[in-house]
Amino acid sequence: MNRRSGSGTTAALRSRRGSGRWLSICLPALLLGSPRARAAGPPELAGLDAVYPSLDSLYIDLHKNPELSLHEEKTAAKMAARLRAAGFEVTERVGGYGVVGLLRNGSGPVVLVRTDMDALPIKEQTGLAYASSATTKTETGETLPVMHGCGHDIHMASWVGAATLLARARDRWHGTLVFVGQPAEEIFLGAEAMIRDGLFIRFPKPDFALGLHVSHLQPAGQIGVISGPASAASNAVDITFYGKGGHGAAPHRTVDPLVIAARTVVTLQTIVAREVNPFDPAIVTVGTFHAGGKRNIIGDEARLELTVRSYKPEVQKQLLEAIERIARAEAAAANAPKEPRVVVLPGEASEVVVNDPALAARLLSALRRQLGESNVVRAEPFTSSEDFGVYGRIAGVPSVQLRVGTVEPGEFSKAKAEGRTVPGAHNSGFAPDRERTIRGGVAALTLSVLDLLGGKTGAP
């Protein structure tokens, strides 16, 4: 994949963008093919060609200027400005830097469409001409690189595109749109914060909630629909082991917390392998190991940081209890001077995202009618986590988070044939094939909303 080409295609392919000859797999001709092919597609997408250049510019701007969670001030202002330009009534600073746009169009259902806005502390290594070189300083003075490494820039551009097309197609739907620009998704705080700030009181409560997320497991622009659990619940667990430090040349006079922690890392792997039902997805990953400071000194403490993923509440409970049991047992076996400290961090937890099966089936059918079966597929659940599920749960309404592929189709086929995976979210090399992906995201959101609001989307 030539990541320096901008959209993940070569310059030669880019020069033939309008011809339809370079379309390989995935995105239908009505989105990236010839004018004649596009004219035969859903009329609701007829304006996408005219809108796309502004979406492309927005995407590049967002990608070059990412902002971390709870610092999305400029990003939120850009989202608010785009919604106002489309004719939405906009309220800013809802639950932090949250943005809410309303577009009323007569009586009918209320549909919430959410995008996330925050970026990640990752140094981008894509080589793109518009790669992020942004940095930020933490409260402690540490300088961190910042990158849209989870595709939120794609989500925002697609969200703006859908808002624009829907505002221009008000003769095709009736109801109310609630477009939500959410901060702090990466730290699982944004959705709850907006709801606490009156999202469902100050604004119309939705009848349906829709979201979008990129996927490097699909070719660019292909839409994936997951029924049931879509993203895992997540817990962050810190374990601190206490020992008795001393000289590395006299280990018999110490209790080595590093060894206790090392044994714990290994034993933790038996939770999923030997305790959890193999038909229940579960993950226990030790991400960091902090111990020692000099080769000939045995320290007093060792610390582990874990991420824990699950789909069922009972499995989540089982995992957390087993982690604590094992940590305490390993410390006791080593005759540690005191029990380890096991903390499940309350601010770094997310719940399962569950796509309503009936709504997922409805949207799968509607999108396939418009875009073709090969372009809209049943997707597999992810073990990554996020907070989109909060909207549907708290509002008590059906919700679905759609997936859109990011990998240039030729590269996707090549990688699949070679048995490898192209870099995806939370990877410094994540470089979506931007045009296909954004167009696919706009189509997914626009056509889904029209189906829910009674629009005539060309269905037989």
Average pLDDT, the chain: 91
Which tens digits make up the pLDDT trace of 398-431?
Answer: 999 999 999 999 999 999 999 999 999 999 999 9
Report residue 314's pLDDT band, with 50, 70 and 90 as the boundaries: very high
Q: Between these two residues, 385 and 40, which has the higher pLDDT value?
A: 385
Class of the CATH-defined domain 3-231+352-452:
alpha beta
Which tens digits make up the pLDDT trace of 323-345?
Answer: 999 999 999 999 999 999 999 99
Q: Tokens 């597609």 sit at which residue? A: 41
Query: Could you tell me which residues come within 8 angstroms of residue 291 by beta carbon, excluding any fewer than 6 positions away?
Result: 257, 258, 261, 299, 301, 302, 303
Question: pLDDT value at position 44?
Answer: 76
Report residue 12's pLDDT band, with 50, 70 and 90 as the boundaries: very low
434-452 vs 48-64: helix crossing angle, rounded to 10: 120
Considering the chain, tell me which residue range(s) the CATH 3.40.630.10 domain(s) occupy: 3-231+352-452
Amino acid residing at 9: T
Of the ranges 46-55, 154-163, 207-216, 451-460, which one carries the lowest mean pLDDT score? 451-460
Which tens digits make up the pLDDT trace of 260-292?
Answer: 999 999 999 999 999 999 999 999 999 999 999
Amino acid residing at 219: P
- What percentage of the chain reaches a pLDDT higher than 90? 87
Question: pLDDT value at position 18?
Answer: 33
Question: pLDDT value at position 33?
Answer: 53
Question: pLDDT value at position 35?
Answer: 55
Question: pLDDT value at position 182?
Answer: 98
Residue 162 has pLDDT above 60, yes or no: yes
Q: How far apart are CA 234 and CA 362, in angstroms?
A: 28
Report residue 138's pLDDT band, with 50, 70 and 90 as the boundaries: confident
Q: How far apart are CA 200 and CA 211, in angstroms?
A: 17
Q: Mean pLDDT across the stretch 5-30?
A: 36
Q: Mean pLDDT across the stretch 62-90?
A: 98
Considering the chain, tell me which residue range(s) the CATH 3.30.70.360 domain(s) occupy: 233-348
* 118 given a catalytic annotation: yes
Q: Is the dihedral angle over the CA atoms 401, 89, 191, 56 positive or is it negative?
A: positive
Which tens digits make up the pLDDT trace of 296-308?
Answer: 999 999 999 999 9
Question: pLDDT value at position 347?
Answer: 78
Amino acid residing at 136: T
Which tens digits make up the pLDDT trace of 187-245?
Answer: 999 999 999 999 999 999 999 999 999 999 999 999 999 999 999 999 999 999 999 99
Question: pLDDT value at position 337?
Answer: 98
Prediction pTM value: 0.87
118, 330, 387, 435: the active-site residue? 118
Question: pLDDT value at position 141?
Answer: 87
Class of the CATH-defined domain 233-348:
alpha beta
185, 256, 408, 433: the active-site residue? 185
Question: pLDDT value at position 119?
Answer: 98
Question: pLDDT value at position 31?
Answer: 58
Q: How far apart are CA 371 and CA 41, in angstroms?
A: 8
Question: pLDDT value at position 40?
Answer: 52
SS3 for the chain, per residue? CCHHHCCCCCHHHHHCCCCCCCCCCCCCHHHHCCHHHHHCCCHHHCCHHHHHHHHHHHHHHHHHCCCECCCCHHHHHHHHHHHHHHCCEEEEEECCCEEEEEEEECCCCEEEEEEECCEECCCCCCCCCCCCCCEEECCCCCEEECECCCCHHHHHHHHHHHHHHHHHCHHHCCEEEEEEEECCCCCCCHHHHHHHCCHHHHCCCCCEEEEEEEEEEEECCCEEECCEEEECEEEEEEEEEECECEECCCHHHCECHHHHHHHHHHHHHHHHHHHCCCCCCEEEEEEEEEECCCCCEECCEEEEEEEEEECCHHHHHHHHHHHHHHHHHHHHHCCCCCCCEEEECHHHCECCEEECHHHHHHHHHHHHHHHCHHHEEECCCCCCCCCCHHHHHHHCCCEEEEEEEEECHHHHHHHHHHCCCCCCCCCCCCCCCHHHHHHHHHHHHHHHHHHHCCCCCCCC
Question: pLDDT value at position 346?
Answer: 86
